[in-house]
Structure 1
Amino acid sequence: MKVLNFGSLNIDYTYRLRNIVKPGETMTSAKLEIFPGGKGLNQSIALARAGVQVYHAGLIGSDGSFLLETCKESGVDVSLVRECKERTGNAIIQVSEEGQNSIILFPGANRQVTEEYINMVLENFGKRDILLLQNEINRVDMLIDKAKEKRMKVVLNPSPYDENMENCDLGKVDLFFLNEIEGEQITGKTDFQEILAVMREKYPQAGVVLTVGAQGAYYSDADGYTRQEAYQAEIVDTTAAGDTFVGFFLKAIIEGQNKKTALLWGTMAASLAISKKGAAVSIPSEEEVKQVFHCL
């Protein structure tokens, strides 16, 4: 079984502020920091640091070579990443003193994916391999269709949720990762149990992971659901918490562990990520998680 993450690679410009800027407000930032990021890159690094061999596919501009070095340092295979003429995708991230964030994305190279490139990448994968997707690149619909033709397992984190998701055949997804906002956008519900119930009704063949911040996470499928409470941690920066959860949850599933254990891994790793600044740089290693949480 091989894991392919076909996703974004971003340069994150992170501004430290007293609070998130309101409409019409001007505020001086205490600090500007530049980090590697993008949901795709973050999730690949989380998988690699959790001990999973992961292949990353995606596009960068000539300004994004340092992102590849960051991936390599964590053990991500970037041999399928290609450079294009568009500048690398980037994000403007506001982080408040309380550690909450607000993000503006410029897709750049991430939205230059072609059918030819998709075909070239997928030639290297087949039956029972895993394709992990987010919604920061274009042609997600095509990737889902072509992966299922190859009998791959499709894992989708539909973030940020927008009209492009409406073009995707979500009935082909094997596992969803949602937070409460995306859960509401897909189902129209705000109650966690109702979100899970609607997802089971709409996509009965799929597993659903619903992360709900300080209230922990749920896993649901046709056999029922289970919940894991969040681990308390000092909140410094929540930017990559969800991506960290995805990587460590999948690590447990790939190793054949049950869903309760997978939720445990995800919530523990995410609690460590929010206690550090930055996105990719805040993601812990498998050994760090084990050292802090001796139950593993």
Structure 2
Amino acid sequence: MTIWNLGSINADHFYYLSHLPKPGETLLAISHTTGLGGKGANMSVAAARAGAHVRHIGAVGPDGGWAVERLTEYGVDTRTIGQVNVATATAIISVDQAGENSIIIDPGANHLISEQQVSHALSGANANDIFVTQNETNAQVDAARIAADANLTVAYAAAPFSAQAVEEILPLLSFLILNEVEAGQLTEATGKSPQDLGIETVIVTKGGAGADLYRDGQNTKSFAAIKVEPVDTTGAGDTFTGYVLAGMDRGLTIDQSISLAMRAGALMVMRQGTADVIPDLKEVENFSLDQ
């Protein structure tokens, strides 16, 4: 099967700081790096490294050839990535010494994905494939509708959170993943808790507190987090999502998929960077829960 990901592609600029700046404060960075990122690219790389066949649907600018090449190197099928006449998206990511971050994104090419590009890409999808999208591109609802009509599993990571965007796509979903803050925002906007959304599978991630799984309107299981010392939390949620979807694609149970994704996320927070440092399946399987 194939995972089809309508997702962002960013150039991530990381600034490692003693602490996150306060309003009006100027800080000298401890170090600075640049690499491949974007929630979409991160998820595609994670799913590919977890053993799934991933087709990425997205856009870069004339300056974005390096990003497409790097995705290809990481095992992602890039034939459905287009080029537009706007610069590739960029993200400015500040990371403090506790691993917490703040992020500013210029969406650039990510918001110029055409409906024609999406429909052409998904014309190659088969029933029982998986479609996933996030909120860093345009065309999510149209793409989700095409995928649902073709009997794909429609998955959605509700970040960056927008109540309007989530409410528009909710009727098309069979799988929703969001963090604890986003779950609270969605409940406030809709008046419904995760188990009342009418979605087959909902996962609420809670960082160091683990994750909760809701199946068919019930809170079926909570998963404890793996205790590690975080260096950088950026991309950990995307890594988790990519591994969960890849596990499902490979025929693992949802419990097995989440357990594997918890290991991948734990490894990820001990590394600095995003797509370029996502662990592969062998690393995750060999990761000791006692370390």
Shared fold (TM-score greater than 0.5)? yes
Match of 1:251 among 246, 254, 259: 246
Which residue of 2 is the match for residue 84 of structure 1? 84
On the 8 A contact 1:216/1:230 being kept in 2, the answer is yes
Structure 2 residue aligned with 1:208, among 202, 214, 236?
202
CA deviation after TM superposition for structure 1 residue 255, in Å: 2.4
Choose which of 259, 262, 267 in structure 1 pairs with 2:257. Answer: 262
2:231 and 2:196 map into 1 onto residues whose CA distance is: 37
Find out whether 1:219 has 2:213 as its counterpart: yes
Work out whether residues 5 and 44 of structure 2, in 8 Å CA contact, stay in contact via their aligned partners in 1.
Answer: yes
| Structure 2 residue aligned with 1:158 | 158
Letter in 2 for 1:220: Y
| Structure 1: runs of 5+ lacking an equivalent | 190-194
- Give the % identical residues: 33
- Moved runs in structure 1, 4+ residues, more than 6 A? none
Change (3 A) 1:138 1:164: farther
CA distance, structure 2, for counterparts of residue 212 and residue 236 of structure 1: 17
Say which SS state the counterpart of residue 46 (structure 1) adopts: helix
Name 1:108's counterpart in structure 2: 108
- Report the AA paired with residue 275 of structure 1: M
CA contact (8 A) 2:226 2:289 kept: no
State the distance in 2 between where 1:267 and 1:199 align. Answer: 20
Q: Which residue in the other structure is 2:52 paired with?
A: 52
Cα offset, 1:294, TM superposition? 7.8
Q: Which residue of 1 aligns with 2:93?
A: 93
Work out the CA distance in 1 between the residues paired with 2:117 and 2:51.
27
1:277 is the counterpart of 2:272: yes
Q: Which whole-Å CA distance do the structure 2 matches of 1:152 and 1:256 have between them?
A: 15
The gaps in structure 2 that reach 5 residues or longer are: none
TM-score by length of 2: 0.94
Give 1:166 deviation, angstroms: 5.0
In structure 1, distance between residues paired with 2:288 and 2:256? 13
Q: Relative to structure 1, is the Cα distance of residues 258 and 167 closer, same or farther in structure 2, using a 3 angstrom cutoff?
A: closer
State the SS of the aligned residue for 1:59: strand
* 1:81-140 CA distance string (max 9 Å, x none): 111000001100000011111001110000001211111111111322211101100121
CA displacement at 1:282 relative to structure 2: 2.3
1:91 match: secondary structure: strand
Aligned to 2:30: 30
Once the two structures are superposed, what CA deviation does each residue of 1:212-253 show, in whole Å capped at 9, x if it has no partner? Answer: 000011111125411111111121111010011011112222
SS at 1:131 equivalent? strand
**Aligned Cα RMSD in Å?**
1.8
Give the conservation status (yes or no) of the 8 Å contact 1:200–1:206. Answer: no
The answer (yes or no) to whether the contact 1:140–1:168 under 8 Å persists in 2 is no
